[in-house]
Amino acid sequence: MINITFEGESLHEACVDLHKAEQAYGSIAAASLVTFLSDAQAFETADELIDLFGHDINILVNDSLSVAIGSDYRAALAVVGTRHKVDAGGRIVWSSVTRLKLLEISRLP
């Protein structure tokens, strides 16, 4: 199971409380956010999550993830902990990642 932590209590509250998520991001994005978090926690590793979300999730050059949340927002996540593996090029092996941290949710320009 993927374990997701949050960058700060206010972000945590805005993500786990549907009413607060709706106030912060609107009802459509809030529903997408709740679905994403639920789906993410149901998988064993991050590569399964990446496969499911396809083009809605991007692996950035710093090995963080950028995930579409509805059509107006993106969530930024980073790998946390030390139990994940890296390949010969120093990149994350996503099949070894079980811990992510939600850093922020930002509105698209």
Cβ neighbours for 87, distance < 8 A, ≥ 6 positions apart: 93
Q: Which domains does the chain have, with CATH numbers?
A: 3-107 (3.30.2310.20)
**Parallel, antiparallel, or unpaired for β 3-6 and 99-107?**
parallel
pLDDT beyond 90 at 109: no
In the chain, the percentage of residues whose pLDDT exceeds 70 is 100
Amino acid making up residue 35: T
Torsion sign over Cα 63, 55, 48, 16: positive
- Tell me the average pLDDT of the chain: 93
Tokens for 2? 């993927």
User: Whole-prediction pTM value?
Assistant: 0.91
Torsion sign over Cα 38, 55, 6, 20: negative
pLDDT beyond 90 at 8: yes
Tens digit of pLDDT for each residue in 26-52? 999 999 999 899 989 999 999 999 999
User: How many residues does the structure list for the chain?
Assistant: 109
H-helix or E-strand spanning residue 59: strand 57-59
